Structure formats: C-alpha cells, structure tokens
C-alpha cells in the first residue's frame, strides 16, 4: 500500500447523519475552502462545530483522513441541483464518496496532491469505478456556486484533465494487478479544547501557528506537547485578541489563531525549489518547475517530473524574456527569482 489511510470518525450529528450510503456509483472531488488548514484541523471543525455539511475524507501532505465511514452518507452537494441525477441517476449525497484536498499555507502541495491522486485511484479500485468516467468535480455538479477542486489545482498549474490522467496512471500502476490491504485504523484525534497534557500533530500545528503569529516558544518550540510554555503563549494570544484567557485552545481561540495566521502571510501558490535543476533530473522538484513555467504562459504539454528536452526548451523560452538571464535551459537561483517575480505579478 503506497499510503496509509487513517480512519478517525467524527461523532454522529448534523455533519455525520449516520444514514447508509447507497451502492457507490461515483466520486466527487473537492478542495477545502479554508486554505492552509490541515486534514485534522478540518476534522476538528466538523466534530466540534457540527454543521449540516461534511465530506468523507480530507487529505493533506501528511494524512489521508477518513472522518465519515465510506458506507455512510456525507452532505457535500446540494440536493436541489440535478446535475448529479442527470449524469449518474442518483444524488451525490446518496451514492458518492466526497474527497477534499487541503492546500495552501504550510501544506506541501506536491505531497498532498500525490495522496489525493492515489486515494482517488484507491476508491476506484475499491468500488469498481472507472477513473475516466466516475470521478466528477464539485464545480461540475454545482457550477453556479462552486469552483472546487479546480480552485486549488489550477493555482498549481494542474488542469482537471491532467488530474484525471494522473488518477488513471495511478490506478494502472498500483491497483490493476494486485489485491490491496485494508486501511489502517488509527484513531489519533484530539478533541477540543486543547489543554496541558495533550500531544500530537494537531498540538504541533497550533504551536507552529502561535510562533508564526508572533507568540514564541523559545524553550521547547513546536514539539507537539501541550505544556506550560504553550499554555503561557496561548494565554498571551488570548489577551492580545480579547479572548477569555484560560489557556485552553477551544473553537474561538483556534478560529482566531487561524484568522491571524492566514491574514499575515499570503498563500504561496507556486512554491519553487532551491538549488540547480537541469536536464536528467527527476522528481517532485521538477514538477514544481514545470508547473510554474506553464503558469507564466510558456507552452509545456506534460507535467511529468522529468527534466527532459521539452522542459529544458521551455525553461530556455522563459529565460529568453530577460536580458539578465543566461539562456541555458538550466533552472537555478536567477531563473527562480524571475519566475517568482512573474508569478507574484
């Protein structure tokens, strides 16, 4: 199994009605509206706020997190739109799995995207679906109100058709010729409020946000342990923003912290790698360069992670725009600087 799947279900309520899902006929792809929030941050929102909305699975750069069992309904597409009925003969809430991509902020997009692609392929195998026919964007089902997941994908130079092709490739590579084991059941969630004694990735995420918001943790840093130093920083944050200074990270404190961090730092839509990358190199860093080059208007057909002659020529084409760049087809610090300038402008 390429990636571990974590099952950590929210309680039954508005967000998890507990109703049985009909036989799964398709997958609806989404992205999260709250850029920078991790899979577990989203889980905690649905657990604690309990809105009449939800999705089965949230995916970031660390977790594929199922928060509603795949044999139960989630509320993720409006019943009053009928595109799903016309296309599949059923409502998405009744016969589809909802998958959310977490993106932006500190989330490593390439890691999250690779998991997002793989999980769609996993679901296609699990429910005997065709990746080319049975995966649909939320924006397709509700175009007057929704733009996901293209909202996230397009920021990184990925079209819907490229995403579907990536899923099809992953399906052929990982699932066509082997039986896959069942997901791991972990149950590692932490309920709000966070308090002294809590530990884990979500505590670490809150600590990182505190540091980014200017509330330092000089002794232990973001170590994932909610100790006295973290409690002291939380109280200082709460007093600064006129919240109840009890040292507990509840819904109000968490929401304010995300608001402060989100407003202080713009989303880096096209993170660019450091160092020298050139012909013969392969991997995620090459994909980052390829997507950025494509995003600034240079023709490049494939985002394949292979720095071959086509990518080299595309980099040359970009470099030719600037007299200060050597037109050598090699990505380095100077090319990165001018790429960032165009991406930001």
DSSP 300-328: -----SB--HHHHHHHHHHHTT-TTS--S
Alpha-helical segments (H) within the chain: 39-48, 83-88, 92-95, 109-126, 138-141, 150-153, 160-174, 201-212, 228-240, 251-264, 284-295, 309-319, 333-344
Residues 192, 206: Cα–Cα separation, whole Å: 12
Residue 34: CA count within 13 A, CB half-sphere: 15
Predicted confidence at residue 125, as pLDDT, reads: 94
Phi, psi (deg, nearest 5) at residue 6: -100, 125
Dihedral angle sign, alpha carbons of residues 34, 39, 41, 45 = positive
Contacts of 74 (CB under 8 A, 6+ apart): 15, 16, 54, 55, 56, 68, 93, 98
Predicted confidence at residue 181, as pLDDT, reads: 52
DSSP 48-87: HT--S---SEEE-SS-EEE-S-TTB----S-TT--HHHHH
CATH number of this structure's domain 284-344: 1.10.101.10
Per-residue tens of pLDDT for the chain, all 345 residues: 689 999 999 999 999 999 999 999 999 999 998 888 899 989 988 988 889 999 999 999 999 999 999 999 999 999 999 999 999 999 999 999 999 999 988 888 989 999 999 999 999 999 999 999 999 999 999 999 999 999 888 777 787 888 998 999 999 988 876 555 555 555 555 677 889 999 877 788 889 889 988 999 999 999 989 999 999 999 999 999 999 999 999 888 988 887 787 665 455 556 788 999 999 999 888 988 998 898 888 988 788 889 999 999 999 999 999 999 999 999 999 999 999 888 876
Predicted confidence at residue 178, as pLDDT, reads: 55
Q: What is the pTM of this model?
A: 0.73
Contact between residue 241 and residue 256 where contact means Cβ atoms under 8 Å apart: yes
All structural domains of the chain with their residue ranges: 5-174, 201-264, 284-344
Predicted confidence at residue 71, as pLDDT, reads: 97
- What CATH homologous superfamily does 5-174 map to? Peptidoglycan recognition protein-like (3.40.80.10)
Interhelix angle 251-264/39-48, nearest 10 degrees:
140
SS3 assignment, position 98: strand
For strands 57-59 and 5-7, give the pairing.
Answer: unpaired
Q: Hey, how many other C-beta atoms are within 10 angstroms of the C-beta on 203?
A: 22
CATH number of this structure's domain 201-264: 1.10.101.10
Contact between residue 269 and residue 151 where contact means Cβ atoms under 8 Å apart: no
């Amino acid at each position: 199994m390429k990636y571990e799947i974590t099952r950590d279900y929210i309680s039954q309520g508005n967000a998890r009605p507990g109703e049985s899902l009909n036989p799964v006929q398709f997958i609806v792809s989404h992205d999260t509206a709250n850029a920078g929030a991790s899979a577990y941050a989203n889980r905690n929102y649905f657990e604690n706020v309990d809105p009449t909305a939800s999705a089965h699975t949230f995916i970031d750069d660390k977790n594929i997190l199922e928060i509603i069992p795949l044999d139960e309904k989630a509320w993720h597409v409006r019943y009053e739109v009928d595109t799903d009925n016309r296309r599949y003969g059923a409502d998405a809430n009744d016969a589809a799995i909802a998958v959310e991509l977490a993106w932006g902020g500190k989330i490593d997009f390439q890691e999250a995207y690779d998991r997002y692609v793989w999980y769609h392929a996993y679901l296609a195998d699990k429910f005997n679906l065709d990746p080319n026919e049975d995966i649909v964007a939320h924006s397709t089902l509700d175009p007057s109100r929704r733009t996901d997941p293209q909202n996230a994908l397009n920021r990184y130079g990925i079209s819907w058709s490229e995403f579907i092709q990536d899923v099809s490739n992953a399906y052929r590579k990982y699932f066509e010729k082997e039986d896959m084991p069942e997901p791991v059941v972990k149950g590692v969630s932490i309920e709000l409020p966070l308090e002294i004694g809590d530990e884990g990735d979500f505590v670490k995420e809150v600590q990182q946000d505190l540091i980014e918001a200017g509330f330092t943790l000089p002794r232990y840093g973001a170590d994932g342990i909610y100790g006295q130093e973290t409690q002291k920083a939380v109280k200082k944050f709460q007093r600064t923003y006129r919240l109840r200074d009890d040292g507990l990270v509840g819904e109000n404190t968490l929401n304010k912290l995300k608001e402060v961090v989100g407003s202080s730092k713009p989303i880096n839509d096209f993170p660019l790698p450091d160092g020298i990358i050139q012909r013969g190199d392969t991997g995620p860093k090459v994909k980052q360069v390829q997507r950025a080059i494509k995003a600034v208007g240079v023709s490049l057909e494939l985002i394949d992670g292979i720095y071959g002659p086509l990518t080299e020529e595309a980099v040359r084409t970009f470099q030719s725009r600037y007299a200060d760049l050597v037109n050598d087809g090699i990505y380095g610090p100077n090319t990165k600087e001018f790429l960032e300038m165009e991406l930001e402008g």
